[in-house]
Structure 1
Amino acid sequence: MGVVNSLTDGHRAGFACFVGRPNVGKSTLMNALVGSKVAITSSKPQTTRRVIRGVVHRPDAQLVIVDTPGLHRPRTLLGERLDSLVLSTLTEVDVIGFCVPAGDPIGRGDRFIAEKLAGLRKTPVVAVVTKTDLAPRDRVAEQLLEVSRLGEWADIVPVSAADGENLDTLTDVLVERLPEGPALYAGGELTDEPEQVMVAELIREAVLEGVREELPHSIAVVVEEMNPREGKDILDIYAIMYVERPSQKAIVIGNKGARLKEVGTNARKQIEALLGTRVFLDLRIKVAKDWQRDPKQLRRLGFYD
C-alpha cells in the first residue's frame, strides 16, 4: 500500500474508531460512510471479530474508520481478547464515535462504555445515535437527551446508515477532529483488509444469516487456498468453517445439505461482487471442540494474544 507524501494545505488525515456494545450498527455505519461493504453485518450481536479499517476519501481529508468488535462482558477467552482489542484501539485513534441506537433504552453496557471513554482524556469522543430510521422522531429526541447525560461529548450526531440521514454531517464532525497531514492511503483504496480475510468474513456472514442464536459466537472461517485457475477466468477458493460441537455442524449443514448449499451460494455471490471475478467456492466444515476457550486453537484460527 502506497503512502502519499505530498502535504496539501489544510488537508486532514487520521483515524476514527466506532465503539459501542454489540449490535448497535457500527459495521453498517462504517460501510455507509465508506460507500462500500468492507465489514460484515448481521442482525446477530458480536459478528465483528477483527479491527477493520475503511477509508473515506475527500478532497480536503482522508478519514480512516476503524470498526471494532462490540464491547461486552466476556464469557470466554475469545471474548476477553476481543475486549482487549477494542480497548487498545481506543488509545491509538484521533477521534472516537460512541454508538448508541435511537430505539434502545440506555443500559448497563452503554454506561460501562461511557465510563471507559471518560478515562480517555486526550481523545475527543463524538456520541452517535444510530438507527434513527427505526425510531419515531420524539424517541430520537429523547435518546439524544439521554445520551447527553451519559458523559461529556465533543458533539452528538443522530444518523441512519439505512437512509443516509446525517452521514455527511457525521463525516464533517469526525474530520474536524483529525490532525492536518497528507493522505495515509493512496489510490482510492477503501480498506486495508487482506482479500483472504475479507473472503473468510463474507463466508461467516453467509453462515450467520438465519441460524440459531448460539452459532455467531461459535463459528470461525479460515480460507486455506485462494488461487486463480490456470487457463480459466475463475478463482478457486477452499475454506473451512470451524464450529465447537457436532450439533452446530448439523445446523450449518441443514437437511440433506440444503443449508450448506445455500451458504455457499450466498457467500460466492458476495465474494464475486467483492473481487470482480467468477469464483469456485469449496466449503468444508469441521468441529474444533471449545475453540473459544483454547489458547492454542485461538492462535491457529487467527485470534492472537
Structure 2
Amino acid sequence: MSQTCGFVAIVGRPNVGKSTLMNRILGQKISITSRRPQTTRHQVMGIKTEGEAQFIYVDTPGIHIMAKDRNKAINRFMNQAATQALRDVDCVVFIIDRTRWSDEDQVVLQRLEHVQAPVILAVNKVDRLEDKSTLLPWLGEVGARRDFAAIIPISAKHGTNVPELEAEVAKHLSEGVHHFPEDQVTNKSQRFLAAELVREKIMRQLGDELPYQVTVEIEEFRDEGRVVHISALILVERSGQKKILIGENGERIKSIGREARLDMERALDAKVMLNLWVKVKRGWSDDERALKSLGYNLD
C-alpha cells in the first residue's frame, strides 16, 4: 500500500474551536486555547501519522474583520498568517459555530473563493444546541453557500464525529512520501510551546481585564535532563497592564506561573523551574519590526 500525505488548513473566524479541534485530533495539547477570540496568533502545525497516511494539520489565527480599533500590525499579521495557510493545501476544514453565521464567517467564505482544494465544512459545538431539530435545516441552508466536499456536525471539545471528519480528510490526501518522522507531532520548538503556555494562562486568567497587547518571549531555555530552567519575559504596552498582571502582592503572576509550569512539566516530561518577568514595551503590537523580533514571522 502506497503512502499518502497532505496539508490540511483549519480555518474560521476567531473563537470557533480551531485549536480545540487540532488538539483533539492529535490527542495532546499543541495549540493553546481560551474563551477569548484571537488566542491563536501563529500558524501551528500538528502532525498525525497513522500507518501509511500522514496528516499535516495547520491551525491558523481566526480571520477577522479589520475594524479601526483592530487595524494594528499584529491583526494584519494574523489575517495574513491565516490566508497564507490556504496556499498549496490538499484540503481545508472550515469551522463555524453551531447555527450562527456572522459577517466574519462570510469573510472567511470569501477568502475560500479562489481555493482549489476541497473544503469540508465542520459545524462545531453541536453538543451545545438547545434545540437539535434546528440543525438539519441549518445544514441545508449553509450548504447552499458553497459546494462543500462534505458538511459534518462535530463537537471538538467532546470528540463527537471527529473520527468521521478525519476519515473525510483522508480521502483528499495525495500519494507521496511522508514529510515528517512518524513520531513528530508539531513543527514548533519547545521554546515556542513554553511561551504559548504562559500566554494561555494570561488569556484565561485575565482575558476580561487585559487587552490583546500581551506577548511572551523566552529568554532562557536550559535543559539539564531531569530539570528544565525557563525564563520568560511578558511584554505589555502600559504600566497599568503590568500592575494587573503582577496583581496584589504578586499573587496573579504567581498563579499564572504555577499553572504554566504544571502544563510545561506535562509537555516536557521533566521538572520545570520557571521564572517570569513583566516589562512595558510601548506600541509593540503595532510595530512590524518589533513583531518580527518577537517571532511573529510568516512561515
Q: TM-score range by the shorter chain?
A: over 0.9
Distance 1:68 1:216 in 2: 20
CA contact (8 A) 2:8 2:58 kept: yes
1:234 Cα shift?
Answer: 1.3
1:158 aligns with 2:153: yes
TM-superposition CA deviations, 1:176-199 (whole Å, max 9, x none): 011112222114211121110011
TM-superposition CA deviations, 1:78-100 (whole Å, max 9, x none): 11111111111101211001100
1:115-264 to structure 2, matched below 5 A, reads 115-120=110-115, 122-136=116-130, 137-213=132-208, 215=210, 217-229=212-224, 233-264=226-257
Distance 1:139 1:249, change over 3 A: farther
SS in 1 for 2:181: coil
Structure 2 residue ranges without an equivalent (≥5): none
CA RMSD in angstroms comes to 1.5
Distance 1:150 1:248 in 2: 43
CA contact (8 A) 2:22 2:57 kept: yes
CA contact (8 A) 2:10 2:95 kept: yes
Q: Which moved more, 1:123-132 or 1:262-271?
A: 123-132
Residue of structure 1 equivalent to 2:53: 61
Residue of structure 1 equivalent to 2:11: 19
SS in 2 for 1:118: coil
- The amino acid across from 2:47 in the alignment is V
SS in 1 for 2:61: coil
1:39 aligns with 2:2: no
TM-superposition CA deviations, 1:13-52 (whole Å, max 9, x none): 1110110000000000000011111100110000101110
- The amino acid across from 1:125 in the alignment is V
Distance 1:57 1:28 in 2: 19
Structure 1 residue ranges without an equivalent (≥5): 1-8
Residue of structure 2 equivalent to 1:280: 273
TM-score (ref. length: structure 2): 0.94
CA contact (8 A) 1:36 1:190 kept: no
Distance 1:193 1:86 in 2: 17
Distance 1:212 1:19 in 2: 22
Distance 1:141 1:11 in 2: 36
1:149 Cα shift?
Answer: 2.4
Distance 2:281 2:135 in 1: 44
- The amino acid across from 2:215 in the alignment is A
- The amino acid across from 2:82 in the alignment is V
TM-superposition CA deviations, 1:198-242 (whole Å, max 9, x none): 11000100111131436352111011111134xx83111011000
- The amino acid across from 2:45 in the alignment is R
Distance 1:13 1:212, change over 3 A: closer
- The amino acid across from 1:129 in the alignment is V
CA contact (8 A) 2:49 2:182 kept: no
CA contact (8 A) 1:47 1:216 kept: no
1:87 aligns with 2:93: no
Distance 1:153 1:259 in 2: 46
Distance 2:189 2:144 in 1: 40
Residue of structure 2 equivalent to 1:4: none
1:123 Cα shift?
Answer: 1.1
SS in 2 for 1:138: helix
- The amino acid across from 1:271 in the alignment is M
Q: Which moved more, 1:138-147 or 1:75-84?
A: 138-147
Distance 1:94 1:218, change over 3 A: same
- The amino acid across from 2:231 in the alignment is Y
CA contact (8 A) 1:102 1:139 kept: no
- The amino acid across from 1:89 in the alignment is A
TM-score (ref. length: structure 1): 0.92
